[in-house]
Amino acid sequence: MSAPAVVWVVDDDRSVRFVLAAALGDAGYEVSGFDSAQAALDALSRRTAQLQPAPDLLFTDVRMPGDDGLALLEKLKAAHPGLPVIVMSAYTDIASTAGAFRGGAHEFLSKPFDLDDAVALAARTLRRDASAEPGDVAPDAAGTADTLVGDTPAMRDLFRAIGRLAQAPLNVLVTGETGTGKELVARALHRESPRARAPFIAMNTAAVPSELLESELFGHEAGAFTGAARRHVGRFEQADGGTLFLDEIGDMPLPLQTRLLRVLAEGEFFRVGGRELIRVDVRVIAATHQQLEALVAEGRFRADLLHRLDVVRLRLPPLRERRADVPRLAEAFLQAAAARFLAPVKRFDRGARERLLAHVWPGNVRELENLCWRLAALAPGDTITAADVDGALSAPPPAGDEASWEDALGRWARERLAAGDSDLHTQALERFDRVLLEAALAHTGGRRAEAAARLGLGRNTVTRKLAGRNRR
């Protein structure tokens, strides 16, 4: 009979150390516990000095006095790259999971965990050949914006998957209803990946007229078609070295699917009307709210393209399947709104929270976010009540009984003319733009791209108008 596998548990929390060691011991492993990274490293040096092999598996907590678990992981990976390390933490956010996987962790175990799961994980890990290579080191993630909020089991699973997948150069298909956070997931995958310093380029297939899609994706040369006055660099080239996020991929017309497939297979293409072969290194993350298998069955989506995009699939659960996240998300949105409005943070009272929990959220997180921005702007007091929530959920703000805006404009024009102004048209256009932009930005919680789409304007146009550079 072979000797039992040696498993070490490093955690400053005595009870975790005890119960995990006991469960692993019951499963037949030879277990030792350590209360700090240093204690484990000392024991490891002693073993090496005595020509004993390193343990077969090590569990470590992240937050501990002295060196934390990630520092321990780094030292272990330098000295014993083949030793599988399972990182345990009560903090299952993407930064933690990605940090662990980037450091070469074999697995990430969210605390509190089920002991049977931990033992099963140890057994699986020990069965496997533990010669995994540590992942590439990614540059520091930029900023903490776009943080995915969530602490339900479904979201923890997702964060673990993102942490792991960010390191792998695989195409990912993100599925989920509208407003569930698909783009945010794609951004997190990029931000935590070795590509983080290169661009993240997003394109919504459904938002681009189909006759322009090809040139949007692959670019065109001057004169390639009527209206192509100048060379245009497509999204694939813009994303070189980085990540291309293709939203609503199910809406891509078939001929373009064929072209995309070829580019994904070969990594090179010609711009529309071009002769120069362009070679790019792009990770593609596609997203859809549709059932692509059904589209394949109907002949509207290519099966081979689906296979190429769907190397790994991440499903985002709708908000109604993770209601426990609603209060957390709502508070995060109120805080973001307060920071943007430079106003004190409002709070939900109990009734408001219950009302939020009871709602079905057909528009998912986006709907919740918009609602919170409306409440931050409009609820009269610092405490938001159930009645405020009901009011904001049921109707857009009342239109009021003022006369039509054409009447108001006429009145304004007559006043300005009487005052002797001579640039009425410019003034009126500026005010017209400002009213539309403010309304759209308030509606979209300050997101320019979405505001631009809702107004039917280009994103650049909106940015320019906001910067006031349209004034002539």
Interface with ligand ATP (CB under 6 A): 148-150, 176, 178-184, 247, 289, 329, 365-366, 369
* 27/326 with CB nearer ligand ATP: 326
- Reported in sequence order, the residue ranges of 111-233 that DSSP labels E, i.e. its strands, are 172-175, 200-204
d(CA 23, CA 52): 25
- State the nearest-atom distance from the C-beta of 301 to ligand ATP, in Å: 17
Residue with tokens 């405490």: 383
Nearest to 209 by CA among 186, 182, 227, 221: 227
Give the pair of three-digit tokens for residue 22.
């006991």
- State the nearest-atom distance from the C-beta of 247 to ligand ATP, in Å: 5
- State the nearest-atom distance from the C-beta of 364 to ligand ATP, in Å: 7
Q: Are 233 and 278 in contact (CB under 8 A)?
A: no
* 70/158 with CB nearer ligand ATP: 158
- State the nearest-atom distance from the C-beta of 240 to ligand ATP, in Å: 23
Q: Are 70 and 52 in contact (CB under 8 A)?
A: no
- State the nearest-atom distance from the C-beta of 353 to ligand ATP, in Å: 17
- State the nearest-atom distance from the C-beta of 179 to ligand ATP, in Å: 5
- State the nearest-atom distance from the C-beta of 192 to ligand ATP, in Å: 15
Residue with CB nearest ligand ATP? 181
- State the nearest-atom distance from the C-beta of 155 to ligand ATP, in Å: 7
- Name all contacts of 341-349 with Cβ < 8 Å and 24+ positions apart: 341/376, 341/377, 343/376, 344/382, 346/375, 346/376, 346/379, 346/381, 346/382, 346/383, 346/384, 347/382, 347/383, 347/384, 348/383, 348/384, 348/389, 349/383, 349/384, 349/385, 349/386
Helices (H) and strands (E) in the chain, counts: 20, 14
- Percent of the chain that is helix, strand, coil (3-state, to 5): 50, 15, 40
* 62/148 with CB nearer ligand ATP: 148
* 232/366 with CB nearer ligand ATP: 366
DSSP element (H, E) containing 31: strand 30-34
Q: Are 427 and 409 in contact (CB under 8 A)?
A: no
- State the nearest-atom distance from the C-beta of 393 to ligand ATP, in Å: 17
* 366/465 with CB nearer ligand ATP: 366
* 150/219 with CB nearer ligand ATP: 150
* 95/149 with CB nearer ligand ATP: 149
- State the nearest-atom distance from the C-beta of 58 to ligand ATP, in Å: 32
Q: Are 199 and 142 in contact (CB under 8 A)?
A: no
Residue 110 phi, psi dihedral angles, 5° rounding: -80, 135
d(CA 340, CA 343): 8
Preceding omega of 112 cis (within 30 degrees of 0): yes
Beta bridge partners of 279: 268
* 36/370 with CB nearer ligand ATP: 370
* 11/183 with CB nearer ligand ATP: 183
Nearest to 309 by CA among 176, 185, 171: 171
Residue 311 CB coordination number (10 Å): 14
- State the nearest-atom distance from the C-beta of 213 to ligand ATP, in Å: 17
Distances (CA, A) of 449 to 17, 414, 446, 456, 458: 49, 36, 9, 10, 8
